[in-house]
Amino acid sequence: MRRVVFNQKGGVGKSTITCNLAAINAVKGKKTLVIDLDVQGNTTQYLLGKKVTDSGSTIALFFKNCLSLSLFGNSNNNGLQGIIHETPFPNLYVIPSHPELESLQSRLESRMKIFKLREALEELTGFESIYLDTPPVLNFFSHSALIAAEKCLIPFDCDSFSREALYNLMQTVAEVKADHNAKLEVEGIVVNQYQKQANLPQQLVDALLAEGLPVLEARISPSIRVRESHSASQPLVHYAPKHKLTDEYHALYTEIHGS
């Protein structure tokens, strides 16, 4: 299964949700791959403990190879296998991001390489689950991820501006489904930074539910443990396995995976 975690607004927890769901999946014994398509590389740092400086061992190499096709075929390896890194955690692997993605974007768009990631993932074997983390904007890389994925999770951080942006985001996903990827389904809206004692978050969630939007039942609370786990480069299932927040991620995982 290929899942993309997508929102066009920054700071809503995309990378944190991606990494923690993938880490739980790996703990359950399933070989799991995370692909970091955000030039900031936060997912890469969270899972590897560092940014990867050599673009030749990151997703940037894959996209550069996509641009090097010739009339006589491509002499480079155009797949993903050679840029997969082991993380310190069993069954969990990552394809790192790199700042060079930014300079590649316009060339990839002009050469119409938007389907290359999906083609490569369809050829990749050995992984039970693939999670794609996207930049906080609809650009070539997030568009590629939406075309490559089968399921889409949308983080929502209980903010009035986030609610306004959510409608445009849902329309974007619907258009990608209609035009480029008939398999794409919104798996659910993930309510993040949820303070159950406050009135506004509950009002916002109730409004989304009243409009028939696919809000998931699991709620993710704010906690300093998240920043601590970022700093330690350890997803919560490893950093604080018995913490309430980790339990909430387990509940989210169970809701979308069914086990």
CATH number for 110: 3.40.50.300
Percent of the chain surpassing pLDDT 70: 95
Q: How far is CA 219 from CA 9, 158, 164, 252, in A?
A: 19, 11, 20, 8
For residue 102, the tally of other CB atoms under 10 A from its CB is 13
Query: 85-86 and 92-95: which strand pairing?
Result: antiparallel
| pLDDT value, residue 75 | 44
| Distance of alpha carbon 61 from alpha carbon 105, whole angstroms | 13
Which residue segment(s) compose the domain that 228 sits in? Answer: 2-257
| pLDDT value, residue 74 | 47
- How many separate domains does the chain show? 1
Given pLDDT bands bounded at 50, 70 and 90, which one contains residue 8? confident
Condensed to tens digits (0 to 9), the pLDDT of residues 34-68 reads 999 999 999 999 999 999 999 999 999 999 999 98
Condensed to tens digits (0 to 9), the pLDDT of residues 168-180 reads 899 999 999 999 9
Q: Mean pLDDT across the stretch 120-143?
A: 96
Q: Mean pLDDT across the stretch 156-171?
A: 82
Model-level pTM?
0.94
| Per-position DSSP letters for 140-160, written without gaps between them | HHHHHHHHH-SEEEEEE-S-H
